[in-house]
Structure 1
Amino acid sequence: MLSYTVRPGDTLLRVARHFGVSAASLLACNPRISENEPIPPGVVLRVPPTSDVWYAIQEGDTLERLSNLFGIASSAIEAANRSLGAASQWAAGTLLRIPAGPPNRIVDAQAEYGPEELQRDCGLLARRYETVETSIIGHSVMGRPITALKLGSGPYVIHANGAFHANEWITSVLLMTFVEDAAQACESGASWRNANVRQLLSEVTLWLVPMVNPDGVALVQEGLHPGHPMYNELLEMNRGSHRFSRWKANIRGVDLNDQFPAFWEEECSRRGTPGPGPRDYPGPRPLSEPEAAAMAAFTEEQQFELVLAMHTQGQEIYWNYRDYEPAESEALACRLGVSSSYRPVKLTGSDAGYKDWFIQTFRKPGFTIEAGIGVNPLPLTQFEDMYEDIAKLLLEAMTFRV
């Protein structure tokens, strides 16, 4: 067996993915670790054998040479070795995992999808597909980039975002998988899910911000370890508990989807949350948090025709806000519902969300999509079923012209 020393940011699923083994086999070989608890850095794990090839980098090796040597795409080699950092930093002697067979996907939904996976995949997608562009629209409290991807070049500009709430990070990998599949279909010219994606992307520009709350996502996935710059503050906000799986807020304990200037004062009164914590604190003022402020500025700059905010869970579509929505919003929500089998809902008693602010400010269609069903964070075992629904819904939204 191989031995592996756990590093900061590692999780059970990430280690299993890196070595190409199942989480169950990794647990069986390491009875000291638990499926539902973070693994402390420094723990040495036993890794069972795999059919993948392991290769020690030689002086002069390049990704192109390795791609030719093993007959698989260079992006597949990079994707299989995410934990080693950028390929430009790989040194001679570094042990690479060369996946068995010819996998050619970049986005991988087999493990937690966090800020590092997102940034690396954004770069890989932009390099592989001409129709994908990336830009940084702001930074989180801890300085992590908030990345937007542009797909297509049409005059009708729409937007989708994910992971406003930290424990809803599965929405990030849903959106990133859609970007990869749509870009591949556009490049090949093939029909995808009965849609001519190349034609759609000549008529539509889709801007995506897959991870609005990268600091919170990392906290939910990796847990809180000594050395975190906000260790004491976070422990206090979480009432002394080291379990952060239910955390929705950003790293300062502010709910980013209660941050927008759309009857914000009424939302504060309704929530009744006195201060920072895992959820439901709207902050000291609207747009006090850099993540929310970046989203507002980006939206004002782009002047989207419609927006879709991806959340979990409930399999519902919220389409209205205090009668500010345009007349066609309900009919459009019904179209999204038919495509995805989600239920359109006229929501009351909610303010200060991104969708609420967009509708009130621009008087254009805005939708909150509650994907999947269950208890957050939803498990990755739901991913395939969720993706079927969300891919259909996004393609349907790309046909709207209002």
Structure 2
Amino acid sequence: MKRAALPGWLYILFLTLLATATDEFVVAGVLPAVAEDLEVSVAAAGQLVTVFAVVYAVGAPTLSVMCERFAKRTVLVVGLLLFVVANAVAALAPGYWFLMGARVAAALCAAAVASAAFATAAAGAPDGAQGRYLGVVTAGMTAALFSGVPLGSWLGGAFGWRATFWTIAAVAAVAAVGLLATAPAVPGSAPAPLRERLAPLRNRAVLRLVTVTFLAAGGGLMFYTYLGPYTAEVAHGSYGLLSFVLFLVGAAGLAGALLSGRAADSWGPQRSLRLVLAGHAVALALAAGLVFSGIGDRYVLTAVIACWAFFAWALTPPVQGSILAAAAPSAGMTALSLNIAGLYLGTGVAAATGGVAVGTLGIAYVPLIAAVLMALAFLLSPSAPPAHGTTSPLADPHATADPHAANT
């Protein structure tokens, strides 16, 4: 049976997540220029990335509780417009603290937009295609790593670091207009007491999945953070290989995000999640074996890294689908935001833990520790849907979304 063509608004959500994910990491590519222009150290400029990630992680669940009752299209469009303003302010920032304030505002907007984007994709998907739709949105975040971030860095080098923020603002503005015109009308949840909206914080199934995400992000992103030194260690100092490896990570990750969404539709999100986690753990174990064995073959190295990247970025569609199945009916967006918070907190812990491992044990132990974390995530992951059978209305597009409804 031929699959139905994906709607245009889904590609705009892809563009939306591409813009917000690029905004998080793009400063890393223009750190020296920012530091020199604002007369601060490179280390201080690097905190612009850290603060964005921390605010994003904390802001996602907080803002989702506040925005749960609003129509998702309203959250998306208003959030994107404020995101545009925040990036315009960043481009015009006269000093470091002014830029830091703009980054905080942009992170809060990005957090609200990301939660609403995943909720919209899930609600707007036809029967049996929720994973596929979530995969496309996830692919926007993945694409930022090998297209948005490098492009932003190139723009910064060619036209100055401020041009990077202007470009992100322009892309977000285009996305806002597109979503205003085409996004499905996904209404907010009915008025409910705060206790009910905070139900995911007491839902063991949701918290279990958030913990799985935290562990998986900690393991996968630890390896990604130190991929450069790892590649040099295995390939015996061949730094020229790194550029190709980074491109390979992006391409394999994009394929993983898209294909895991389809797998979640075919096999169910819980089963797909366990397959992804198992594959990720095996790939990291192979990476550890490669560095300890002393095998320096480039082709073997790139094959192992491609396998790892595929599973690393295949995580989000099945875990988001599992989260939606476990969430209370009125708290789907809040549950998704908790998962996003787990993802970003895991990323932060990954960098710190990996740094300690490199400083005390050596780079060879990074994939080994990451494999252990991934194995723990696999052991904790559910093997079956929640026993109560409760499904968030976001998982039922016919209950919450009417793509042909008038704009809200």
TM-score normalised by the chain length of structure 1: 0.23
Query: Bigger radius of gyration, 1 or 2?
Result: 1
- Which structure has the highest helix share of the two? 2
TM-score normalised by the chain length of structure 2: 0.23
- Greater RCO between the two (CA within 8 Å, min separation 6)? 2
- Which structure has the highest strand share of the two? 1
